[in-house]
């Protein structure tokens, strides 16, 4: 009986087609109409003139040779870069810049990860923030002004809305300014996922090995902004003085943990201190144990 179907080719083709169609319906048609595959992009906006100019700079300089802009729905990708990319996020990308190579990290959620100052420092000299980085320096972009007329024509051609004021505001802006504005907008349509590790009770360990671990982590992740030995740098405050989040009052281990884990945004209040913003969050990247060793290190360098 089971062998007889192979002797009836036409019937066999029909059965195979029906089975494949069922598979297609489940795999394609269902997701096409299910709302979880198409989350509403409440914050989705077309690029501003400056951001669009920055996108051109990104394309001109082949940033996509080394950077992708597409986070796959794989655990490793999501842990490293954040929420995976959704189709709707690329509505205004013509063409999209997903890229295919990751010589450098994915940039799909780079917006808001660092402050503007960090990006200027990094683009001026990537080696200053990441020892041994192979990313070229792009500080020279600051010598090239954006041409407002050209951008107006470009906005028109792409059908993006703009105002005369927006075009006028481009005067005096350089390609570097535009690039930073573009980067800071990337991936900001999707709100950030909730935090995983919270401070809880202090887990501070004050032995030499933990402090040495913290020091190493500090040197790879933090000196770019906070300067060597945390004495203050181009884009972050001194960590050895007695001022914490702009208040001259001793700080608890838990508060230090929270600042490093969650980062700060302008106006965010942590332990009665109002942040100015610009401290990135390290929760996903480093995790609880490493953040506690950083706290141990900071405790070892702070003014006694």
Residues near ligand HEC (CB under 6 A) are: 58, 61-63, 65-67, 103-105, 107, 110, 113-115, 118, 126, 130, 133-136, 138, 179, 183, 218, 221-222, 224-226, 235-237, 239, 243-246, 256, 259-260, 264, 275-280, 282, 294, 298
User: Which is nearer to ligand HEC, 52 or 110 (by Cβ)?
Assistant: 110
| Residue 147 structure tokens | 């041409």
- What is the smallest separation between the CB atom of 163 and ligand HEC, expressed in angstroms? 27
Q: Name the closest residue to ligand HEC (Cβ).
A: 104
CA 223 to mean position of chain CA atoms? 19
Q: Please tell me the distance from the alpha carbon of residue 247 to that of residue 255, in angstroms, as a whole number.
A: 13
Sign of CA dihedral 268, 272, 274, 280: negative
- What is the smallest separation between the CB atom of 27 and ligand HEC, expressed in angstroms? 33
- What is the smallest separation between the CB atom of 280 and ligand HEC, expressed in angstroms? 5
Sorted by sequence, the CB contacts under 8 Å of residue 231 that are 6+ apart come out as: 238, 239, 240
Per-position b or e across 263-283, b if 16+ CB within 10 A of its CB: bbeeebebeebebeebbbbbb
User: Which of 64, 66, 71, 123 lies closest to 95, judged by CA?
Assistant: 64
Q: In degrees, to the nearest 5, what angle opens at C-alpha 128 toward C-alphas 125 and 132?
A: 95
- What is the smallest separation between the CB atom of 154 and ligand HEC, expressed in angstroms? 19
- What is the smallest separation between the CB atom of 186 and ligand HEC, expressed in angstroms? 9
R_g (Cα) of the chain, nearest Å: 25
- Residue 27 CB coordination number (10 Å): 10
- What is the smallest separation between the CB atom of 264 and ligand HEC, expressed in angstroms? 3
User: Which is nearer to ligand HEC, 48 or 69 (by Cβ)?
Assistant: 69
| Residue 78 structure tokens | 């999501």
User: Which is nearer to ligand HEC, 73 or 277 (by Cβ)?
Assistant: 277
User: Which is nearer to ligand HEC, 148 or 278 (by Cβ)?
Assistant: 278
User: Which is nearer to ligand HEC, 59 or 153 (by Cβ)?
Assistant: 59
User: Which is nearer to ligand HEC, 162 or 176 (by Cβ)?
Assistant: 176
């Amino acid at each position: 009986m089971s062998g007889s179907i192979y002797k009836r080719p036409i019937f066999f083709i029909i059965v195979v087609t029906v089975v494949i169609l069922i598979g297609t319906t489940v795999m394609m048609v269902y997701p096409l109409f299910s709302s979880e595959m198409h989350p509403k992009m409440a914050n989705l906006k077309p690029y501003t003139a400056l951001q669009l100019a920055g996108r051109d700079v990104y394309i001109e300089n082949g940033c996509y040779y080394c950077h992708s802009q597409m986070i796959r729905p794989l655990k490793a990708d999501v842990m490293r870069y954040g929420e995976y990319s959704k189709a709707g996020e690329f509505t205004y990308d013509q063409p999209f810049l997903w890229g295919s190579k990751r010589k450098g990290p994915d940039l799909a959620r780079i917006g808001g990860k660092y402050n503007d100052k960090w990006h200027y420092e990094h683009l001026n000299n990537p080696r200053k923030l990441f020892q041994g980085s192979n990313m070229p320096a792009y500080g020279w972009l600051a010598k090239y002004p954006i041409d407002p007329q050209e951008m107006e024509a470009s906005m028109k051609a792409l059908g993006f809305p703009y105002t005369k004021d927006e075009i006028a505001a481009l005067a005096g802006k350089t390609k570097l300014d535009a690039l930073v504005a573009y980067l800071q907008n990337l991936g900001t349509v999707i709100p950030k996922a909730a935090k995983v590790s919270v401070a809880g009770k202090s887990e501070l360990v004050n032995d030499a090995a933990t402090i040495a671990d913290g020091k190493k982590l500090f040197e790879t992740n933090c000196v770019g902004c906070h300067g060597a030995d945390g004495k203050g740098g181009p884009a972050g405050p001194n960590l050895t003085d007695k001022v914490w989040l702009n208040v001259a009052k001793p700080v608890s281990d838990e508060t230090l943990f929270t600042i490093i884990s969650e980062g700060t945004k302008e106006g965010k209040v942590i332990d009665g201190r109002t942040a100015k913003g610009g401290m990135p969050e390290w929760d996903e990247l480093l995790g609880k144990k490493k953040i506690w060793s950083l706290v141990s290190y900071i405790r070892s360098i702070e003014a006694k």
